[in-house]
Amino acid sequence: MSDKFQYVIETEDLGRSFLTYKKSEGLINSIKGFWNRETIEKVALHKTNLKIEPGQIVGLVGANGAGKTTLLKLLSGLISPTTGYAKVLGYEPFQRNPQYLKRISLLLGQKNQLWWDITPLDSYALLAKIYDLDEMKAASRVQDLAKILDCTHVLETQLRRLSLGERMKMEIIGSLLHEPDVLFLDEPTIGLDIVAQETIRHFLSSYVKNKGPTVILTSHYMDDITSLAARLLLISKGSLVYDGTVPGFIAKTELIQTVTYKIKDAPEMKEEVKKSQLNEFLVQLSSMGQIENIKIEETDFEDVIHSFLQKESRLL
């Protein structure tokens, strides 16, 4: 159904601020604050314009408190905007129309969304009722997804007795049970070991290839972004600072490369060189003597984003 829209997600000047009160240090200020509180407005997300086409996988990256989760909450209808509007699948998210909610899914990596005291199978049966699904089909879908995620053996164990990795697999099945058109994934691999991260990454990658939902993914693990997302949104201090492809971002950034070299009769050296100056550096190096060994390493994507955000936060 999402192919009816040119853009599945569209926002115009979408922003959110909230009021909080200033709490100065000390007991006297606590007493003062009891009757006189200074309210301050904090902008969590500045006016944001965004257009996302059907089937796109968008990686949303930023530091803690940058506004990533606020954007996801606005798009999933959890909170209301203070400026502008958003349209997702033609719906205004904050209206929380049941027909809209049936077509989206929000997976919060840091929160349990299934029921703690019952087994995942019981949770899925309840979800099938909530989403008004054919119960037989839903049950068979659970088995299919559990097989792919290799977690069939824990379906009948209460959620509270499962490990973090198993719980996350269960949450993923729960969020995909109704085959959403739009998936909001907030840190789906957080806290998991490398093997579990890889399993979930692989699963999500093949799922989106097969089913083609539109996905917005936030993660602190850059492997999640590079292996899943075609488009990258970088957010810093509540503002979008980059919107484009991952390779485009790398090309835009002045990359630093690490050159490790050994010249005859000299100790091994290591230097960081800007990519644009690499040729010049190599010419200089060859004139210094006979090169016995040389290794040029690309900077990690995570480091690139990190330095980009650092630079941005100094500018903002």
Binding residues vs other proteins (CB under 8 A): 18, 44, 69, 73, 76-80, 96, 98-99, 101-102, 104-106, 108, 110-113, 115, 117-118, 122, 125-127, 129-132, 158, 186
| Closer Cβ to other proteins, 115 or 281, answer by number | 115
Minimum distance of other proteins from residue 235's CB (angstroms): 17
| Closer Cβ to other proteins, 54 or 77, answer by number | 77
Minimum distance of other proteins from residue 246's CB (angstroms): 27
Tell me the C-alpha distance between 277 and 259, whole Å.
12
Q: How far, in whole angstroms, is CA 11 from its chain's centroid?
A: 18
- State whether residue 32 is helix, strand or coil: helix
Tell me the C-alpha distance between 280 and 302, whole Å.
26
Q: Are 111 and 132 in contact (CB under 8 A)?
A: no
| Closer Cβ to other proteins, 168 or 304, answer by number | 168
- Which residue matches tokens 């990686």? 59
The residues with which 261 forms a beta bridge, in sequence order, are 269, 294
Tell me the C-alpha distance between 165 and 149, whole Å.
11
- Which residue matches tokens 């997300």? 45
Minimum distance of other proteins from residue 18's CB (angstroms): 5
Q: Are 48 and 11 in contact (CB under 8 A)?
A: yes
Minimum distance of other proteins from residue 121's CB (angstroms): 12
Tell me the C-alpha distance between 71 and 11, whole Å.
10
| Closer Cβ to other proteins, 130 or 230, answer by number | 130
Q: Give me 16's structure tokens.
A: 């959110």
| Closer Cβ to other proteins, 77 or 188, answer by number | 77
Q: Give me 136's structure tokens.
A: 């037989």
Minimum distance of other proteins from residue 113's CB (angstroms): 4
Q: Give me 93's structure tokens.
A: 């998210």
Minimum distance of other proteins from residue 133's CB (angstroms): 10
| Closer Cβ to other proteins, 106 or 173, answer by number | 106
Minimum distance of other proteins from residue 233's CB (angstroms): 20
Q: Give me 299's structure tokens.
A: 């900077």
The residues with which 297 forms a beta bridge, in sequence order, are 258
| Closer Cβ to other proteins, 214 or 232, answer by number | 214
| Closer Cβ to other proteins, 166 or 186, answer by number | 186
Minimum distance of other proteins from residue 139's CB (angstroms): 14
- State whether residue 249 is helix, strand or coil: helix
Tell me the C-alpha distance between 261 and 268, whole Å.
6
